[in-house]
Amino acid sequence: MNSDKLNAIEATFLVIIVTLAHIILNLPNTILSSVGSSAIINVLYISFLIFIFFLIINKLFSSFPGKDILDVSEYVGGKTLKIITNILYTLSLTFTCGILILDFSEMLKLIYFPDAVVPFIVGIFLLTAIIVNKIGFKNVVKVNTLIVFVALIAVVIVFAASFSHVDFQRIFPIMGKGINETFFSGILNIYAFAGLIYLYLIKPNLRNEKDYKKVGIASIILSSLYLLLSVASLLFLFPFLTTGTETLSVYMSTRAIKLGKFFERTDALFILVWIFAFLSYLSVIISYLTKINKKVWNAKHSSPIIYIIALLTLIATLIPTNSTQIRFIEDHIYKYLSLFVVFVYSFLILLIGYLKKNNYMAKRRKTRKSIVKINN
Amino acid sequence: MSFWKNVIKSLFEDEVDSADSFVLLETTQGDENKTVPEDLLKNKNVYPSLDVNLEYINARFNSLINSDIKIREFLIHVRNKEYKAFLLYIDGMSDNDSINEFILKPLMLRNDANTYQEDQVISQAITNNISVRKVKKFNITDYILDSLLPQNDVEKVNSFDTISDDVVSGNCVLFVDTLDYAFDISTKKFETRSISEPKNEPIIRGSQEAFVENLRTNTSMIRRNLSNENLVIENLTVGKIDKNKCAVCYLKNIANNDLVAEVKYRINNIDVDYCSSVGELEQFIKDDITSTLPEAVSTERVDRAVSYLLQGRVVIVYNGCPYVLVVPITVFDFLKSQEDININHVAANLLKIIRAISVLLTLLLPGFYIAITTYHSELLPTDLLFSIVASRSSVPFMIIVEILIMEISFEIIREAGLRVPSNLGNTVGIVGTLILGQAAVEANIVSPILVIIVAITGITSFSVLDFSFSFHLRIARFVYTILGALSGFLGIAVGLFIHIAILCSLKSFGVPYLTPYAPINVKSKSKYLLKPAWKREYRDEWLATKRPKAQDEISLKWRKNKNV
């Protein structure tokens, strides 16, 4: 038995952790800012679209049993395209991961460690991820499964505990900033499901390949549900005009929670859970990038690759020099980069691969028929 | 130089753990009786042929590997005729003197009873110096019963099931060639010193019997509590100079073959001069040799060891040690008490939840205290915060120094209390905790709230049942305290994250340490909380036993029958 193989729940939670990390940061806030009070409708709409998109991916992948996007790239464009895809994935993931960690570290500094320097906090995150990755890929996945479970419960608690402050009137106007923003320009909010990038990579790691569809659908449903809860708790708690502030969206919701007279400020406990979620997110990104790079470069040991990936992430955290740049990168560069990698580049590779394979199979069938004819 | 070489190697190379190669896989079901020929098993009664009986007994009792199953083959003299026979008994459960003096001696040695006498001869003819005697007919069974077995309690039995039940309860059974029944002789005598109550694992309801230092006494106690011929007790030797014996016990029809083979393989491949105790033996056979976490449950309770055997685990008894090891285990086994199965499942689950909370408090309370008071004070209500600040105002130390002073003092008092003679132990505890603690508070060396924190931590640590596991928690507590002081919840989260990852990486004889939660198995029947006694239908699936079911679907048949 290969110990690196994942069961359906582990694989689902790998996809969810990416969405969860974004939910904890500013994803609900960004969606609210872009579409206004129609955020709930927008989330439902993009969830439906992503569901359709996944069904198409699943269909395209059905021609490549046991293969991931790197194998498909190799099939389409040889080793060169495989390396290009790998580099693109590595750079985009380390870049977005670095920015996210930087953003989260900035928030931690702002809230709890005013005297600390941000690179120090980033360093703690990276060091932890390196240590955990050294323990092994499968252990990262196991820890992630436990932590995602706790984090998901925390999101539900946030929603439930702040329910008494909810004002459902805030859903109006129902179409928010307008139909165009909700359904046309709002379609770009589909980047919220950038965690689907794992669905391009996860197939060879599944213990049972038939679980692939199950994993995809479950992860989309759960991600949608939690995105919906986060957006709803933010929308119903605060007038959407105030949500432009640059703090953790879910953290804002936790500030509203009061558990009796004794616990009036429980946000620190939720921060503890969010730290877990970010550590898990960072570890998962590094472990998966290590895994694919080890495969592409045919490396004997994982450790040097772990260090290189961690170094690249650290470099990414050094790019922005202030919070405005971080916000810009998160809201724009990350958005379009994710859209390009997940929804354009990978999809095109898969589509071309599918067509090429179909063409090849058709030719083969034709040749066989002609051989049979000649023999007859 | 080699140190730096190793450091660089460990930094850049992946660790290859040989223990990783053993994973407890699904068992090959239905092979529990493979050693017994099928045609033999069909017949449940004693055969007239002694050789066939012997073969059957060897197979049924696994006597070739079972160290305490004794088969003594010999010749019986009955009126000058010799019959082949053998005696079956369990060493440690039968009285050796009684067997020697009153069974083997009368049967084997020539005496008045087993040689023929002149008055038994009906006629005699002598031709060519060959004398032919016609003697009175006699019944060999009656003869053995009446004349050769001077025992108070002897029965004729012909069912192997009855024989098996009686042998495992301490009787010895005599098989004689040509007879299709055997003699069941009462020779029960259990080797014991005065068996004492468990000192470190006391329970209210349930057996009050603990293991002793003698290996054979311990195995006989297990046999007495688990009357089944499938219980195999294999003797192995550990150490080259001090060849100490240890016994590997398992139920042949339940335990996974690979697991048993792995346990024996590891014990057989310990290349040391001596191994002084079961604790040392555990360190020699654990999967992760660098971890401070125990990978075997150590128990002094006979009933606990037996219930583990019935689950399909392997028990290792070591000569000279009143504790036995149980493998494989998960971390949740350290939170189980034998009391749990003796009481209602609701009460048991309450206790289990309390134990889990205790573990968390033991591990994290000082770390959380320091993190909250230093970095996250908004979590505390204002009044409480004021009182903490006021109580600390006259303490001259930093909070981390204060907490370390208290923790280390507590550990010293605990260690001193354990090491001094038992009569003085209580005094040390009283002097240490009450008098010194109060004096320290009055002298403004520590704050009263910290005394409460350390006391709660200390008390909760006592609810952890396993001694070795409690050590791990004590070590980790210091780490969390320092991490909490360095960076509050961030530090604690980092520590916990790495800690959980380490726990996830551990295995006990191929079983992941956090099973069934990591790797997650939602279909697992063995969750942390207990089901009602009548609903514990399955054995832990991660043990990959040969008999996954422990109960019928409807175990309370009497209820069903009544309703019908």
Chain A residue numbers touching B498 (CB-CB < 8 A): 128, 131-132
Identify each DSSP E strand in chain A by its residue range: none
Residue A1 lies in a domain: no
Show the domain range for A283: 8-375
Boundary (domain end) residue, out of B145, B170, B185: B185
Chain B residue numbers touching A17 (CB-CB < 8 A): none
Residue B82 lies in a domain: yes
Q: How far is CA A309 from CA A127, A134, A196, A287, B17, in A?
A: 12, 13, 20, 9, 24
Minimum-distance CB partner of A9 among B23, B497, B520: B520
The answer, for B400 touching chain A at a CB cutoff of 8 Å, is no
Q: Are residues B322 and B352 in the same domain?
A: no
Q: Tell me whether residues B14 and A302 touch, CB distance under 8 A.
A: yes
CA distance A176 to chain B (A): 36
Residue B324 phi/psi, 5° resolution? -120, 160
Residue A331 lies in a domain: yes
- Give the containing element (helix H, strand E) for B76: strand B69-78
Structural domain count, chain B = 4
Q: Tell me whether residues A272 and B492 touch, CB distance under 8 A.
A: yes
Q: Are residues B235 and B160 in the same domain?
A: no
Residue A103 lies in a domain: yes
Q: How many CB pairs under 8 A join A and B?
A: 106
Residues B20-46 have a mean pLDDT of 58
Q: Tell me whether residues A266 and B379 touch, CB distance under 8 A.
A: yes
Residue A3 lies in a domain: no
Q: Tell me whether residues A3 and B20 touch, CB distance under 8 A.
A: yes
Cα Rg of chain B (Å, integer)? 31
Q: Are residues B162 and B219 in the same domain?
A: no
Q: From first to last of its 376 residues, what are the pLDDT tens digits of chain A?
A: 456 788 899 999 998 998 888 888 778 888 888 888 888 899 999 999 999 999 999 999 998 988 999 999 999 999 999 999 999 999 999 999 999 899 899 888 988 888 889 999 999 999 999 999 999 888 999 999 999 999 888 888 888 887 777 788 777 787 878 888 888 888 888 888 888 888 999 999 898 888 999 999 999 999 999 889 888 888 887 765 554 555 566 777 777 777 776 666 778 888 899 899 999 999 999 999 999 999 999 998 899 999 999 999 999 999 888 878 888 887 788 888 888 999 999 999 999 999 999 888 888 888 888 888 887 7
Minimum-distance CB partner of A128 among B20, B498, B502: B498
Q: What's A73's domain CATH number?
A: 1.20.1740.10
Residue A2 lies in a domain: no
Residue A333 lies in a domain: yes
Strands B244-251 and B130-135: unpaired
- Rounded distance, CA B10 to CA B31, Å? 43
Residue B204 lies in a domain: no
Residue B398 lies in a domain: yes
Chain B residue numbers touching A121 (CB-CB < 8 A): 490
Chain A residue numbers touching B500 (CB-CB < 8 A): 143, 146-147
Length reported for chain A:
376
> Complex ipTM above 0.85?
yes
Residue B334 lies in a domain: no
pLDDT value, residue A289: 93
Q: Are residues B306 and B245 in the same domain?
A: yes
Q: Is residue B545 within 8 Å of B255, Cβ to Cβ?
A: yes
Query: Scanning every residue of chain B, which has its alpha carbon at the shortest distance from the alpha carbon of A114?
Result: B375
Q: Are residues B349 and B315 in the same domain?
A: no
Q: Which residues pair with B327 in a beta bridge?
A: B314
- Rounded distance, CA B239 to CA B231, Å? 26
- Rounded distance, CA B218 to CA B225, Å? 11
Show the domain range for B249: 215-329
Cα Rg of chain A (Å, integer)? 22
Q: Are residues B321 and B356 in the same domain?
A: no
- Rounded distance, CA B499 to CA B494, Å? 8
Chain A residue numbers touching B23 (CB-CB < 8 A): 1, 3
Confidence category of residue B33, pLDDT binned at 50, 70, 90: very low
Residue A279 lies in a domain: yes
List CB contacts of A124: < 8 A, sequence separation 6 or more.
Answer: B487, B490, B494
Q: Is residue B285 within 8 Å of B234, Cβ to Cβ?
A: no
Query: Scanning every residue of chain B, which has its alpha carbon at the shortest distance from the alpha carbon of A131?
Result: B498
Residue B423 lies in a domain: yes
Chain B residue numbers touching A271 (CB-CB < 8 A): 489
Closest of A338, A296, A353 to residue A91, by C-alpha: A338
By CB neighbour count within 10 A (0-12 exposed, 13-18 middle, 19+ buried), where does A242 fall?
exposed
Q: Which of A243-247, B189-193, B252-256, B491-495 has the lowest mean pLDDT?
A: A243-247
Structural domain count, chain A = 1
SS (H, E, C) B78-106: ECCEEEEEEEEEECCCECHHHHHHHHHHH
**What's the DSSP call for residue B113?**
T
DSSP SS3 for B185? strand
- Residue with the two structure tokens 């969390």: B480
pLDDT value, residue B563: 62
Residue B207 lies in a domain: no
Q: Are residues B471 and B541 in the same domain?
A: no
Q: What is the mean pLDDT of chain B?
A: 84
Q: Tell me whether residues A145 and B498 touch, CB distance under 8 A.
A: no
Residue B525 lies in a domain: no
Q: Are residues B254 and B152 in the same domain?
A: no
Q: Are residues B257 and B353 in the same domain?
A: no
Closest of B227, B219, B127, B126 to residue B171, by C-alpha: B227
pLDDT at B41 over 70: no
Residue A148 lies in a domain: yes
Q: Are residues B503 and B376 in the same domain?
A: yes
pTM over 0.80: yes
